[in-house]
Structures are given as structure tokens and as C-alpha cells.
Amino acid sequence: PSPRSCQPPGANQEALRNEIEELKQKNLALDQEIAQLLSEGYSLEELEKHIALLHEYNDIKDAGQMLLGKLAVIRGVTTKELYPEYDLELSD
């Protein structure tokens, strides 16, 4: 039997209510953060462009990490050992 089938009736509904409430709180917090940024003079277009650039950066960083991983396997070393060779910080 699945874990949910062992729960008392209504427990699943309560869990869903809690999850909905958490999502409502996150939505409210995000709305407040957007309102604050707009009040500081940022435009929605600027924020959307910034988010798009962050996505692009993360995609490029992921590709770099994948390449470092493959190179580490080929050389038989850890990825961490390659960082100094390419002037990378461990926090990168």
C-alpha cells in the first residue's frame, strides 16, 4: 500500500490545504517584492530582461560544469582539482 493509503481520511485534504496556504504566502511575498522593486524605479521589462539574463548565465554555467566534469573523468581527477588550472574559485 502507498503511504497515502495509510493516512487517516482527510489527512490528504489537510496536507493540500497547508500546501495551498504556503503557496498563497509565497505568492504574496513575491508580489510584495515586485512592488518594492517597482517603487525603487525598476520597470517590468528591465526585471524580465534581468531574469532572462540570469537563466542564460545559469545555462552557460551548467554547460561549463558539465565540461569540467567530463574533463575530470578523462584525466582521472576530481573537478575540484581542475579549478586552479582554469583560475576558478570553488565558489564559482
Instruction: List the pLDDT tens digit at each of the 92 positions of the chain.
Output: 555 556 666 778 888 999 999 999 999 999 999 899 889 998 888 888 989 999 999 999 999 999 999 999 999 999 999 999 989 888 76
Domain ranges of the chain: 9-42, 43-91
Which phi and psi angles does 41 have, rounded to 5°? 100, 0
Single pTM value for the model: 0.54
Q: How many CA atoms lie within 13 A of 60 on its CB side?
A: 7
Residue 4: predicted pLDDT = 53
CA distances from 40 to 28, 35, 37, 51 (A): 18, 9, 5, 17
Residue 70: predicted pLDDT = 96
Residue 13: predicted pLDDT = 87
